[in-house]
Amino acid sequence: MKTIMFIPAILFVLLPGISSAQNTTNFPQIGHVDRFDPSLDTLIAKDAVIEVLCGGFEWAEGPVWVQEKENKFGGFVLFSDIPHNAVMKWQEGRGVSVFMKPAGYTGVADYGREPGSNGLALDAAGRLVLCEHGDRRISALTKGGGKVTLADRWNGKRFNSPNDLAIRTGGDIFFTDPIYGLPQRAADPMREIDFCGVYRLQQDGTVTLQSKEMSRPNGIAFSPDERILYVANSDGNDPVWRAFPVKEDGNLGSPSPFFDSSKDDRIPRGGGDGLKVDGHGNVFATGPGGVLVLSPKGKLLGRIVTGERIANVGWGNDGSVLYLTSDMYLCRIRTLTKGAGFK
């Protein structure tokens, strides 16, 4: 059983649709920052703290910032609570509420322990694009409030459970498809594709397999110039983040190792989950014990440690705030850098 006695100020979400009032100037603080290289001080200030914004979730994932001009705080964060099949919304001054439910599974039968949406992103039109476990698809939320399926098959076979995605300028969506959302995972009788792939979805609906060599492809993000696609592997037997070159035709070339946690004795051996990149090409990758901060050359500079497992991260506000989905919590840390795409 997890203990939460060290942060009694957190108000927990227990019922769908109930927002919690929050003190927006004095959030509880947890964890610490490990500093392995002096250059980390140019990315994260020495006095930076990890703030817990809300909690009570079963497994939070996929945070994305939604800009809102009329909002005095600039916008809000959306994130998935996968087991509860919901997308949650957190807004400064208002707290947390259910944004969408169901979010990843619309069937009538039970669908295992991870039915909901996972990775979230915004496309160029501002639509929310979702990786859905239970419905095994990439979908988009329309302006009218309905959903459309962007892709649910490759070569006529249903995906395993789309996990995370990165949208390239021009609209192509690259996404990973491991087996974590299937009720029986690798042994599930509903499984139609016998590998875990990395795919490209083009705007005309064409889906092409880009890689099937990674055992459990997971988090995914582009370098600032979009010439490299980073993909995490959530497999402790092969805990290697890989860098795929993006060719002129938009497809991926053969990958090279970017970072291997088994070769660094300062952190436990372990695979990765979600990741994001800043405007200078530094990679903020969830991994063993926290968020690994990696230079563009794959050097481990430091680690953001909440004390809980971390699933994913996302840039928000003016681009300098990093939001963390850490097990039952949504957290944030203010940085000295900005996410790729922010000015």
pLDDT of residue 24: 58
Neighbour order of strands in the sheet with 165-167: 165-167, 173-177, 197-201, 207-211
Average pLDDT value for residue range 324-337? 98
What confidence category does residue 26 fall into, taking pLDDT thresholds of 50, 70 and 90?
confident
Distance CA 172, CA 160 (A): 20
pLDDT of residue 72: 80
Structure tokens at 193: 């594709």
Pair 283, 230: CB distance under 8 Å: yes
User: Higher model confidence: residue 234 or residue 23?
Assistant: 234
What confidence category does residue 159 fall into, taking pLDDT thresholds of 50, 70 and 90?
very high
pLDDT of residue 71: 79
pLDDT of residue 12: 36
Average pLDDT value for residue range 190-201? 98
pLDDT of residue 224: 98
Each residue's pLDDT tens digit, 55-78: 999 999 999 999 998 878 899 999
Average pLDDT value for residue range 211-224? 98
| Sign of the dihedral defined by the CA atoms of residues 266, 271, 275, 280, in that order | positive
Cα-Cα end-to-end distance for the chain: 43
pLDDT of residue 13: 40
**Position 16 pLDDT exceeds 60:** no
Average pLDDT value for residue range 328-336? 98
What is the topology classification, in CATH, of domain 29-334? Answer: Neuraminidase (2.120.10)
What confidence category does residue 25 fall into, taking pLDDT thresholds of 50, 70 and 90?
low
This prediction's pTM: 0.93
Each residue's pLDDT tens digit, 88-129: 999 999 999 999 999 999 999 999 999 999 999 999 999 999
What confidence category does residue 3 fall into, taking pLDDT thresholds of 50, 70 and 90?
very low
Each residue's pLDDT tens digit, 219-236: 999 999 999 999 999 999
